Chain A
Amino acid sequence: MTRKNYYILTDGILKRKENTLYFINKDGKRPLPIHSIYSIYAYSSLSISSQVVNLLSKEGIPIHFFNRYGFYSGSFYPRETLLSGDLVIKQAKHFIDNEKRLKLASDFVKGAIFNMKRVLSYYGLDNNMDTLLEDLKSCKKITEIMNVEGRARADYYKLLDEILPEGFRIGERTRRPPENMANALLSFGNSLLYSTIISEIYNTQLNPTISYLHEPFERRYSLALDISELFKPIIVDRLILYLIKKNMIDETDFEKDLNYSLLNENGKRKFVTEYDKRLKKTIKHRKIGRKVSYKRLIRLECYKLIKHLLGKEKYKPFISWW
């Protein structure tokens, strides 16, 4: 993986010149080598010309935009070059057939619960995740599966609170807006992961709008939500616990005026830097037998899903083994 993610946190203009990109702000001009960009995350107010869009489309580079509160607001999803009608039909077939959909939906939740369990046991916390896994087996409806997922997550946050320092307890999970620092970190991290997964899906033949666990509503890439369930515990939650436990983040990284519900620029910078490091971190993959990065793991998950949809190999959700 030599193409890199670029994170833009300062205001400026993105310009096309000499067939490459230039980022211009008050400090000056900075060329970004077009062939080394994997995707761009825009957290600041960024002006973009249509020439830039044309170039990004040609190179197949998505840009993810976040609003000033750090919430995901949308992506520039370049013209699809990896198309497969066959796969789209099979994706839809697996959605329509209730049994097939249930299998995939429960697999996603199973993986998510297993990964939550891993995080808890890493911190030596006793948990009842196994009973929830049992409950999952008897589910006959998507709503029941969602219910198990919700209960697992509520228990999980409650247990994590035991090891978190006073100011960083999660309490209730609150969104739009997050009501405390831990919730702000979770929201920020989850939307970052969500867009990372969109980038990965872009690089496969999968259609991002057909999902199994979440209802495929219009105007959103719900397949990315499905896959993000698997990776939230090991990428986002572990990262947040790491930042808090190592005292790398504190009250000064949040907006005081907004009741600490929002990361300020410095806080965002810290978070994004560590997040990027984590994506590049490698582990030895058991099946492939060589080192793969966390980012690559997400892509492998997409490939596994494709194999399942095409009926080549049964899908087994990703479960961390370390």
Chain B
Amino acid sequence: MYVIIVYDVNVKRVNKVKAYLRKHLLWVQNSVFEGEITKSQLERIKKDLSTICNESEDSVIIYSFRTKKAMKKEVLGIEKSSISEII
């Protein structure tokens, strides 16, 4: 499945969340990650994020698609990071 995760968390935890998500997904913009993962990986991410975040202060939104083909992506202005696997 393909997911987009956006988060708005207290500044104390921004780096923690970013460092964690970097292990699984690709960074696209400040507070936005996306990438192809499995269902079990998503469950794991959810569980780990809930231990990092404070539920009364932070907010994390997960958009998920069956495949990458189910969504369309357009970029206006600069593309902040490339997500190709050929470097």
Question: Residues of A at under 8 Å CB distance from B?
Answer: 2, 4-10, 12, 18-20, 23, 30-31, 33-36, 269, 272-273, 276
Contacts and interface: CB of A to CB of B under 8 A. Distances in A.
Nearest to B87: A8
27 contacts: A2-B36, A2-B41, A6-B85, A6-B86, A7-B85, A7-B86, A9-B87, A12-B87, A18-B23, A19-B19, A19-B23, A20-B22, A23-B87, A30-B81, A31-B22, A31-B26, A31-B27, A33-B23, A33-B25, A33-B26, A35-B23, A36-B25, A36-B35, A36-B36, A272-B86, A276-B85, A276-B86
A8 B19 CA distance: 23
A30 B81 CA distance: 8
Contacts of A2: 36-38, 41
B37 A36 contact: yes
> Interface residues of B toward A: which range?
10 to 19
Given A2-B36, A2-B41, A18-B19, A36 B86 contact: no
A15 to B, nearest CB: 13
A45 B27 CA distance: 25
Interface of B: 19, 22-27, 35-38, 41, 81, 85-87
Contacts of B25: 33, 36
Nearest to A38: B85
A125 to B, nearest CB: 33
Given A6-B87, A18-B22, A19-B23, 11 more contacts: A2-B37, A4-B85, A6-B85, A20-B19, A30-B81, A33-B25, A34-B23, A35-B23, A36-B24, A36-B35, A36-B36
A35 B24 contact: yes
The 3 closest A-B pairs by CB, nearest first: A18-B19, A2-B36, A20-B23
A181 to B, nearest CB: 22
B86 A269 contact: yes
A5 B87 CA distance: 11
Nearest to A12: B87
